[in-house]
Amino acid sequence: MALDLRDKRGLLIDDIPEMRASVRVQLSNVGLENCDPVRNVKEAVDKLTLNRYDLVICDYNLGQGADGQQLLELVRRRKLLPLSTVFLMITGETGYEQVSTAAEFSPDDYLIKPFTAETLGGRLIRAMEKKAALAPIYRHMTDKGDPALAVEACDQLLAEKSRYSLDVLRIKGDLLLSQGRHTEALALYESVLQQRETPWGAVGRARALAAMGNTDQAREHLEGAVAAYPNYLAAYDSLAQLLETTDKQAAQQVVEQALKVSASTRRQRQLGALALENKDFGRAENAYRQTVVRDRSGFFKSHDDYAGLAKSCAEQGKTQEALTAVKDMAQHFQRTPELEARQAALESQVQIKAGNKEAAEAALKKALKTGEGNTLDPQTSLEIAQACFANGEEERGKQIIQTVAEEYHEDDHVFALAQSVFTAAGLEDEGQVLLEATRKRMIKLNNDAVALAKAGDLDQAIGMLTEAADRLANNAQVAINAGLALLMHVQAHGADLDRVTQAHRYLSQARRANPDHPKLDDVVGFYRRLAPPEAPVLED
């Protein structure tokens, strides 16, 4: 039986009142009466935060420097759009390439203007039928879902010879890669490619090979995919990611190629970072300036954009432009200790480049003072460390980076940022040694404490872990293990409200640090089973 849109809820996003009214009438004509119209990204995000929609119909060009593709990326990253919701992009001919070549965050379908109500309704129903068919997989792909069960659901649909088998295979491949089941993923992609050449199959095969350590083969396959599918952005993105660790010059060239296919804020930012590391300061300035200017709504901006712009200008002797970029941060972001500390750290680096040592020292002092007593994000802390290196305070810079590494020892991205700070300071080898030693030390701390707990020496395990958790507020794994050790003590020795309350504090700390940590849900469940009625409640 065909789907009926009359019981569905929709969100329509278009910045032009006449277009909103026209599409709204067309939606009503095909049965979608319950539809909220909004004008821009902010209104759309507000609606998606508060409500659940079956359908989102969005124009590609939303004015204010933002577009529908950026909105889709934003709501996916913020997890405001369930996989079961259809996202249909409306676009003119000029926006078609941007939508049809989208890589990681592609809409479920797109519609080129002009179109009839019948065409619009048909596309929506077709997309909803696919969503309904894939629902058994999607229900296991939520934050609290089980990816292994999602793979099983894929296998069930494949056994039933679903009409969407190719979509199922694509989803299954991504799931296998995300679970580290790289050999199975490689076999799946090679099987698909034996039957038909597909761009996602070619890129998936390369990703599996890279994950298995076959980087040369992966690079060869990705370069082949870029040549064979010059408009398929996932090939460029995967190749650039692979090259970033071995050949940053080549990675920069790949990102520049991708930007010719489809400009995006994320890729402009990536280009700026690579160009800055490659000392291509003019290109870095241009990339960061485009990133800053492109989005006037502010939803897609980052402190990193202004930091990169300031540094690339300073390296070219454009001191006033660099200081202007630092100052502009206060106009576009909420004033917080993190913002003030980062501005001061950036100003210090700019002043050093300009030869103004006293001004640089004063700005560094302000950055360090602002950071005291405040929990800073890793990027801000690393910015302060970089300012320390620039001012000749090498040991202080190392100490700051070591603390960041201890707090984020599971985060490869933060480690890469930390290494780049060492490299910029001419301390590449020393940085590698310090970061690797720190990671090994943190892994040993967790392993030793867990071993003590399992051996029954709970008091010593608790002492080790709580000391580390109190010192490292952003290390989710340490906080989870501290909470777990306390709960194991309660389980072994009977109810103890003080220890349960302490466990609650550490698990809450872990949730603030990383709500998506894979071990958190199990320990939270353990807490709820053990905690007496008078214990504090751990909210979802």
Task: Give the pLDDT score at 294.
Answer: 74
What's the CA gap between 99 and 90, in Å, rounded? 9
Task: Give the pLDDT score at 130.
Answer: 95
Spell out, as residue ranges, where the chain has pLDDT lower than 50.
1
What's the CA gap between 69 and 300, in Å, rounded? 12
What is the DSSP-derived secondary structure letter of residue 108?
S
Task: Give the pLDDT score at 106.
Answer: 81
Does residue 221 contact residue 205 with C-beta atoms inside 8 Å? yes
Amino acid at 321: E
Residue with tokens 């203007």: 113
Amino acid at 274: L
Convert 284-314 to b/e letters by CB count within 10 Å (16 or more is b): bbbbbbbbbebbebebbbebbbbbbbbbbbb
What's the CA gap between 152 and 159, in Å, rounded? 10
**pTM score of the predicted model:** 0.85
What is the DSSP-derived secondary structure letter of residue 61?
B
What is the DSSP-derived secondary structure letter of residue 110?
E
What is the DSSP-derived secondary structure letter of residue 537?
P
Task: Give the pLDDT score at 98.
Answer: 55
Taken in order 268, 425, 244, 513, is the CA torsion positive or negative? negative
Amino acid at 385: A
Helix, strand or coil, per DSSP, at residue 111: strand
Phi and psi torsions of 35, nearest 5°: -140, 125
For the chain, domains (ranges, CATH) are 1-139 (3.40.50.2300), 144-247 (1.25.40.10), 263-386 (1.25.40.10), 452-530 (1.25.40)
Q: Cβ neighbours of residue 98 under 8 Å, at least 6 residues apart?
A: 60, 67, 69, 91, 262, 263
Task: Give the pLDDT score at 184.
Answer: 98
Residue with tokens 């997890």: 79
What's the CA gap between 48 and 58, in Å, rounded? 13
What's the CA gap between 126 and 109, in Å, rounded? 9
Cite the beta strand spans of 265-409 per DSSP E. none
What's the CA gap between 254 and 222, in Å, rounded? 11
Strand partners, 112: 91
